[in-house]
Chain A
């Protein structure tokens, strides 16, 4: 076990009455990486994160955060964006940012000047003294995420940071996450949308029904599965199933991921497809996280 890892979960278990919410999960998140907690809704991601934040306590297992066996002792060095989040409506944007900073132990003056500077840097300069109730949804989301970073945390934990955001704001949040990584700090975020994780994660852990399904770097995880053929096409997707040698199809309508039986020839497949569909792209690569996940849990969930 790497003692200097940003986060180490070792056999962590949490039970709510008869429900086993998190079951013997062990994960190691290296420093300076972006790490995804993936899984369907209700898999136990939020409960796991709440245990890291000392909001819940595990029934069994150990949690090491930033090399410290007592997560509560390092709370001030963590930034946390919960899934259920909001702002005090009557407070001003700069006030609430400074308040979050001070709750993390920043001196008052520093928290105030930092809050104003951050809002300016992220295009909210005109809203510094506006009440939070006047902010648009995207702006208040920005303020919330800035709130998790005002005290320069070594580890930022974001629970479903993309949920409910339009593409522009998704991009914005993604850039914020990449910024944190560039500064050598660690980001953990949870999502149930695999595509988001694929784009920026260095490592992931897949959780389903409270249990870890698999974990590792994105590359390791994907290489563990067989090669996939990805096509962009126009035409009747139903044809894909009728091609010889195809064992599985993840069809999204205009783009599809195909898996071949052992020994089947991709070139042969391409020739057959071109006759039946209009193929605009044909690509061989590692399977998508979605496919990896579906295989790992044996077709249950998503």
Chain B
């Protein structure tokens, strides 16, 4: 084994043996799992808001409940359409949905809403457009029967955000003193709130009532209120014989068709997946930042430890400072890579299998991101490049320190530089090809983070080539300067030198040793 690899091997083995290393290996996966598991557990324990309604009008509540049913059925149809592409997720659905999934996914979202209205008995099949009509003819009776008979419990396992998972309607007691009874139940926390609907809501002269102990949580009131408003508005249009289509047309807001222009110039419509793709690099920037920082800091601390234990001159009697430096950089890189790869593996496994283990289907395609070759590839490449750059600087700084506290005194200066890519993470994520992003890409200390940040852009090939070229050149210079400082610094005792002194070493020819009383002995 060459001497360089011997040094690298020792550093790797020694680091892997430390508790800190295993803490690092396990901390991230545990944190990640907690992020996935805890919200789901909380969701499971969070009870739905229980409410009751006293309907003095005699018809409004029924109409609202029909709307709720349509809305929930539409959610089921949408879920079926969305999951149509993934066989194992389709198989988990009830038969009628499973059968219709492929046809549903071919329908536009508006048609699915119309279809849901027909199936929930709120509208007539005649109004359906032809494509939706075909789906209705093929699957309508099966879906309708399923929907009218499905129990809430059977619907819950579908992992669809049905309204009753959030707001659970309980029957109101009959009789004139219903409101009074409900009031007691609210007081005893059996109910979150109750509504009293006005006897003639269409006239709009009187007010309905909403009673709760908690008036800061307005979700229930807003949700129920908007359903009631829509229903009442429709009745008013009917009474004035205004064509609903005209009314809808009058109320139609200006809408924007949001599209993403891809590198090839083709327009693509954007979905949830694209939003995720846009922001996923930010996750990787964060991971990159943590790993580059912690691993190059590990190298620095290793160097300081080697100096403070004074073993370094013994090593220098067998190998040259450059061999020692190279061995250390490689050894710590291997340590860091082990850690980072284990993190990536954990990320991939956790996003792919953990939701399944919890009995829930993974609703965000995180696992596809964790195996996206562009993201993973650039992450690993930028980890190595970023590490080499900061390693060269930190190992030089570490070599002039004699104690850990000397090294800690130097940290704020390095932090000041490294904080920049963290501060610009969100602005760059929002505008990956903006002026700020482009500019910072060409600043070598920031290149790895900023280019990772821009992966959703993505930057042009030209930018990749130029920034990487600049970065590699800076790494070569940093390693050269780091090696010069290292070969002088490692033998230095006493007070760490000032920056000015270090710069003088870098400019001096190789083999020159600075004027220092300690070194002259």
- Residue B411 is within 8 A (CB to CB) of chain A in the complex: no
A82–B314 CB distance below 8 A: yes
Give the size category of A's interface with B: 35 or more
Contact with B along A74-114 (1 / 0, CB 8 A): 01101111101111111100000001101110001000000
Contact with A along B11-32 (1 / 0, CB 8 A): 0001001100000000000000
A80–B6 CB distance below 8 A: no
B316–A76 CB distance below 8 A: no
A21–B310 CB distance below 8 A: no
A85–B318 CB distance below 8 A: no
Q: Which residues of A contact B503 (CB under 8 A)?
A: none
- Residue A127 is within 8 A (CB to CB) of chain B in the complex: no
Sampled A-B contacts (16; CB under 8 Å): A16-B515, A21-B521, A42-B520, A53-B317, A55-B313, A75-B318, A78-B317, A82-B313, A85-B310, A85-B311, A85-B313, A90-B17, A99-B10, A103-B7, A104-B318, A148-B314
- Residue A19 is within 8 A (CB to CB) of chain B in the complex: yes
A57–B314 CB distance below 8 A: no
Identify which of residues 493-521 in chain B touch chain A, using a CB-to-CB cut-off of 8 Å: 493, 511, 513-516, 519-521
A85–B515 CB distance below 8 A: no
- Residue A283 is within 8 A (CB to CB) of chain B in the complex: no
If A16-B515, A57-B511 touch, whether A84 touches B521 (CB-CB below 8 Å) is no
Q: Which residues of B contact A147 (CB under 8 A)?
A: 314
A17–B514 CB distance below 8 A: yes
Of all chain B residues, which has the CB nearest A44? Answer: B521
If A46-B521, A99-B10 touch, whether A16 touches B319 (CB-CB below 8 Å) is no
Q: Given the complex of chains A and B, what is the CA–CA distance between A88 and B287 in angstroms?
A: 31
B309–A88 CB distance below 8 A: yes
A42–B317 CB distance below 8 A: no
A86–B310 CB distance below 8 A: yes
B3 contacts which of A17, A44, A103 (Cβ < 8 Å)? A103
A82 contacts which of B3, B14, B317, B319 (Cβ < 8 Å)? B317
A84–B511 CB distance below 8 A: no
B14 contacts which of A41, A47, A56, A88 (Cβ < 8 Å)? A88
Q: Which residues of B contact A53 (CB under 8 A)?
A: 316-317
If A19-B515, A42-B521, A88-B14 touch, whether A103 touches B318 (CB-CB below 8 Å) is yes
A55–B515 CB distance below 8 A: no
Q: Which residues of A contact B7 (CB under 8 A)?
A: 103
Q: Which residues of A contact B309 (CB under 8 A)?
A: 86-89
- B309 smallest CB distance to A (angstroms): 4
A55–B491 CB distance below 8 A: yes
- Residue B315 is within 8 A (CB to CB) of chain A in the complex: yes
Of all chain A residues, which has the CB nearest B324? Answer: A103
- Residue A208 is within 8 A (CB to CB) of chain B in the complex: no
B318–A76 CB distance below 8 A: yes
- B298 smallest CB distance to A (angstroms): 14
Most A C-beta atoms less than 10 A away, residue of B14, B310, B315, B521? B521
A47–B520 CB distance below 8 A: yes
If A46-B521, A88-B309, A103-B319 touch, whether A144 touches B314 (CB-CB below 8 Å) is yes
B310–A84 CB distance below 8 A: yes
- A96 smallest CB distance to B (angstroms): 8
Contact with B along A30-62 (1 / 0, CB 8 A): 000000000001101111000001111100000
Q: Given the complex of chains A and B, what is the CA–CA distance between A185 and B198 in angstroms?
A: 111
- Residue A18 is within 8 A (CB to CB) of chain B in the complex: yes
A91–B14 CB distance below 8 A: yes
Q: Given the complex of chains A and B, what is the CA–CA distance between A55 and B311 in angstroms?
A: 14
Q: Which residues of A contact B320 (CB under 8 A)?
A: 54
B313–A84 CB distance below 8 A: yes
Q: Given the complex of chains A and B, what is the CA–CA distance between A104 and B319 in angstroms?
A: 8
Q: Which residues of A contact B314 (CB under 8 A)?
A: 80-82, 85-86, 100, 144, 147-148
Q: Which residues of B contact A144 (CB under 8 A)?
A: 314
Q: Given the complex of chains A and B, what is the CA–CA distance between A87 and B315 in angstroms?
A: 10
Q: Which residues of B contact A86 (CB under 8 A)?
A: 309-311, 314
Identify which of residues 142-190 in chain A touch chain B, using a CB-to-CB cut-off of 8 Å: 144, 147-148
Q: Given the complex of chains A and B, what is the CA–CA distance between A195 and B402 in angstroms?
A: 33
Q: Which residues of A contact B17 (CB under 8 A)?
A: 90
- A95 smallest CB distance to B (angstroms): 9
A87–B311 CB distance below 8 A: yes
Q: Given the complex of chains A and B, what is the CA–CA distance between A248 and B321 in angstroms?
A: 49
If A53-B317, A82-B317 touch, whether A16 touches B519 (CB-CB below 8 Å) is yes
Q: Given the complex of chains A and B, what is the CA–CA distance between A89 and B14 in angstroms?
A: 11
Q: Given the complex of chains A and B, what is the CA–CA distance between A243 and B313 in angstroms?
A: 52
Q: Given the complex of chains A and B, what is the CA–CA distance between A76 and B318 in angstroms?
A: 7
Of all chain B residues, which has the CB nearest A17? Answer: B515
B513 contacts which of A56, A89, A100 (Cβ < 8 Å)? A56
- A137 smallest CB distance to B (angstroms): 13
B491–A100 CB distance below 8 A: no
